[in-house]
Amino acid sequence: MNISARLHPGLNLHHTDPHTHIKAVGPLFGFWVFLMSDAIIFSLLFANYGVLLHGTAGGPGPAEVYDMRSAFIETMLLLASSFTFGMASLSMKYGRGTGKLVGWLAVTLLLGLGFIAMELRDFATMIAAGAGPDRSGFLSGFFILVSTHGLHVLSGCIWMVVMMVQIAVFGLDTRVKTNLMRLALFWHFLDIIWVGIFSVVYLQGLIK
């Protein structure tokens, strides 16, 4: 394998689709730049949460408002979605048919929607208990960080639906494959961010 194949910024299609492999380099590199800018935004939100963590204003703290069972299930949903998206990527790479590819994308979409539904339920429960974002600095920092990630997941789900439509209309041409590789980077990036949220926000937040 040559150096260009090893250093490709996305899924390596060097042996299965050399044309797309070469054409995707520029768009994927540009998408990495976008992801780095997004990572900076999340870094700032993590820092904001850390500063406001003890600013409860006499209200509830992390141990009183976090539902760890729900957060753990949400984590498992996103981790499973990374696996299913990986299977979708392999189906695309090795030409296993659009049926299997769309099937894996559909499973990933369902897992993502399940995550969003559980997160919205958690938010509704907290707000109903008087622990909304307007209650304290701590809660405002929590809601802005977690909801920003949730909006990204929702965007990824919408993007996934668009990709299913593109596959049905255009097939697996170079443009569609490149878009799928960009979506894969975006989805795995969101999973990494959630692992950070689960570790830094939920787990450490329970330490009094």
Number of other residues whose CB lies within 10 A of the CB of residue 22: 14
- Comparing C-alpha atoms, which of 103, 65, 62 is closest to residue 85? 103
- Give the model's pLDDT for residue 110: 98
Residue corresponding to tokens 């949400």: 74
Consecutive 10-residue runs of the chain (208 residues): their mean pLDDT? 52 55 75 94 96 90 92 96 94 85 97 98 95 94 97 97 95 89 95 96 80
Q: How far apart are CA 170 and CA 179, in angstroms?
A: 12
* Ramachandran area for residue 35 (φ above 0: left; ψ -120 to 50: alpha; else beta): alpha
pLDDT digits (tens, 9 = 90+) for 43-101: 999 999 999 998 988 889 998 999 999 999 999 999 999 999 999 999 988 877 789 99
157 close to 116: Cβ distance less than 8 angstroms: yes
- Give the model's pLDDT for residue 206: 75
- Give the model's pLDDT for residue 86: 93
- Give the model's pLDDT for residue 7: 52
- Give the model's pLDDT for residue 14: 52
- Give the model's pLDDT for residue 107: 98
- Give the model's pLDDT for residue 51: 94
Number of other residues whose CB lies within 10 A of the CB of residue 31: 21
- Give the model's pLDDT for residue 20: 60
131 close to 65: Cβ distance less than 8 angstroms: yes
Q: Would you give the distance in Å from CA 79 to the centre of its chain?
A: 10
- Give the model's pLDDT for residue 3: 46
18: Cβ contacts below 8 Å, ≥ 6 apart:
none
- Give the model's pLDDT for residue 184: 94
48 close to 201: Cβ distance less than 8 angstroms: no
Level-2 CATH architecture, domain 18-202: Up-down Bundle (1.20)
Q: How many angstroms separate the first and last alpha carbons of the chain?
A: 52
